[in-house]
Amino acid sequence: MMPITLSRPDAAFIASISDLAWRAMLAEVNLSPKPGLVDRVNCGAHKDMALEDFYHSADAIRPWLARFVECGASGAALPAGEVLPELRPLGLACEKAMFRATAGVNTHKGSIFSLGLLCAAVGRLHRLCRPVSPENVCATAAAFCQGLTRRELEQQNTQQTAGQRLYRQLGLTGARGEAEAGYPLVLNLALPHYRKRLAQGTDPELALLDTLLVLMAHNGDTNVASRGGVDGLAWLQQKARTLLHAGGIRRPADLRHLHDFDTQCISRNLSPGGSADLLIVTRFLHELSPYKPT
């Protein structure tokens, strides 16, 4: 067996990666208008959270992101399948910090899961002197999560959580399935779409809103399904597809369509939180692309 070359990431690298993840969270929450989601316009379909909760939450999560990078680096010699148990205590502690900051409101639980995995993957790749590319990062996160869906949604499906119930009823795997598959919705759809819009000269915020529609059109969003069932999810996906087929969000004038969509989501009590989490992943991976191991 070839020896593993380990290069411990320095503090500056760790800080830069965690900062990218934190900024991705802020970029998503500040993005407006977002159908059914908390933004600078309104609280979407949520009655228990506001914009300030997301700011407090992101700030509480921020220091933990560096610890995920460090954990991935320190466990670089471990088989990939043994890393997730090392990350779980950090994830739970990070969730507690989030709940303390928001007085018990779940603002970023999905993002803690995804960004924790991805930051750890970055740390592992850097220490192994492998390119920190979106593809490698997602593949590494997938290796961490090998068998996760089977263990937590199939074998332990007692319908105690919303995710387990939706898997049993509708076959939706949610954040676990997307991570175990290596974030295909991001790598194959959202990230290329976002980069294409930017290359065409679209304003970055409009490009990100248009990319959110792409995710909403294709994601089996468990947040939507838990609120509106299969019919609510089908309606939201079709509405997003219709807007994309009509040209999407390319100019400020197009924002009126999102305002209308937002009103409809609020009236139906639908909030595509899973797609918002994947948009954060998309933004993080896009900004991550220039980084190379040293």
* CB atoms closer than 10 angstroms to residue 98: 25
What pLDDT sits at residue 101? Answer: 97
pLDDT along the chain (294 residues), means of 10: 52 94 98 97 94 97 97 96 95 97 95 97 96 97 91 63 71 84 97 97 98 97 92 97 97 97 97 97 91 47
Give the amino acid at 99.
F
Angle ∠(157,116,210) on CA atoms, nearest 5 = 90
Give the pTM: 0.92
CA distance 171 to 167: 4
CA distance 184 to 139: 10
Angle ∠(38,43,47) on CA atoms, nearest 5 = 120
What pLDDT sits at residue 164? Answer: 74
* DSSP-derived secondary structure letter, 120: H
What pLDDT sits at residue 3? Answer: 39
What pLDDT sits at residue 2? Answer: 34
Burial label for 33, CB within 10 Å (0-12, 13-18, 19+), is buried
